[in-house]
Amino acid sequence: MITITLPTESQKTAHIRLTLNGEATDVSFAPYKTLLEVLREDLGHTGTKHGCELGECGACAVLLEGKPVLSCLLLALECDKKVVLTVEGLAADGKLHPLQDAFADLGAAQCGYCTPAILVTAKALLDQNPKPSREQIREALSGNLCRCTGYQQIFEAVEEAMVRIAGAHNG
């Protein structure tokens, strides 16, 4: 039997510079690693999760240049000079993002495992469309599986955040 020896993690031969949650970040890693692995293992950002290894569950979603991407399907090498936002970057100035507050208040997080990815995906939606309809929210979150909530409280939390964000802007 021929055994192919793959590069190991200790061979951190790849290097990128990205803006992670607003911070210029340099990181070296083994070249085969996905953005998900680099975030969790090399950058200590464990808020982003994994669930299926093939881009189906959506638990690994992060924002790349403001758009949701599945970090388990993206090589970290592709993220050089890019802007990445994870759940750790949602709160600002010591205050939770309105989405985080609304999710907490309205029971949109049960086990909390899919929550980080749903939060950033919802943020991308609200950034692009400040007043989405229920149907647009359903559509935007259709790539994020949640096994706990039945989604309803998630939809309501996104709508509540939408109202709170609009209120903050108007106030």
DSSP state of 73: S
- Give the C-alpha separation, 171 to 4, whole Å: 62
Q: Residue 74 or residue 156: which is nearer to other proteins going by CB?
A: 156
Cβ atoms of 122 and 76 closer than 8 Å: no
Q: CA of 98: how far to CAs of 57, 102, 163, in Å?
A: 24, 6, 9
Told to check if 29 binds other proteins by CB under 8 A, we report: no
What are the tokens at 83?
């802007």
Told to check if 54 binds other proteins by CB under 8 A, we report: yes
Contacts of other proteins in 90-129 (CB under 8 A): 90-91, 96, 99-101, 103-107, 109-116, 119
Binding track, positions 150-169, relative to other proteins; x by CB under 8 A: xxxxxx--------------
What are the tokens at 14?
């790849």
The minimum distance between CB 119 and other proteins, in angstroms, equals 7
- Give the C-alpha separation, 131 to 72, whole Å: 30
Residue ranges binding other proteins (CB under 8 A): 1, 3, 5-6, 8-10, 40-41, 44, 46-54, 56-57, 59, 86-88, 90-91, 96, 99-101, 103-107, 109-116, 119, 137-139, 141-155
